[in-house]
Amino acid sequence: MKHYTVAEMDVTDPSWVRDYVNDVTPMVEAHGGRYLARTGQAELVEGERELPQVVLLIEWPSREAAEAFYESEEYRPYREARRAGSSGAFLLVAGEDSTARASVP
C-alpha cells in the first residue's frame, strides 16, 4: 500500500537547505519516493492556524520504503541537520480510505 510523508516546517537556520535539497532528492528517489509537492505556496482554506514556511508531500510505494529511507545511515546526517535548523512536523500517512462505505437503501 502506498504511504505518504506529509511535512510542515519553518526554517530557523537555512545553512542546511541547499545540501539537503541537492543530496536528499536522489536518496528519496532511490528508495522509490516521489515528491508530489515541495513548496511555500499554501493557503488556509478552513480553520485558524499559522501556515508553515514549507509544506512537502512525498509518495512512497510502501511503508517499508519510507521507513528504510528515514532510518538509513545515508540520510541520518541530513535528518539531523534538518532537525537542528528547522521546526515542524513529519507525518507518515497510509494511502487508504479507512472509512467503511455504507450503502444507502
Over residues 54-64, the pLDDT tens digits come to 999 999 999 99
Alpha carbons 60 and 92: distance in angstroms, whole number: 10
| Predicted confidence (pLDDT) at residue 101 exceeds the cutoff of 80 | no
Provide the percentage of residues in the chain whose pLDDT is more than 70: 94
Strands 3-11 and 34-39: unpaired
pTM above 0.95, yes or no: no
Domains of the chain with bracketed CATH: 3-94 (3.30.70.100)
55 CB-contact burial (10 Å; exposed 0-12 / middle 13-18 / buried 19+): middle
Over residues 20-56, the pLDDT tens digits come to 999 999 999 999 999 999 999 999 999 999 999 999 9
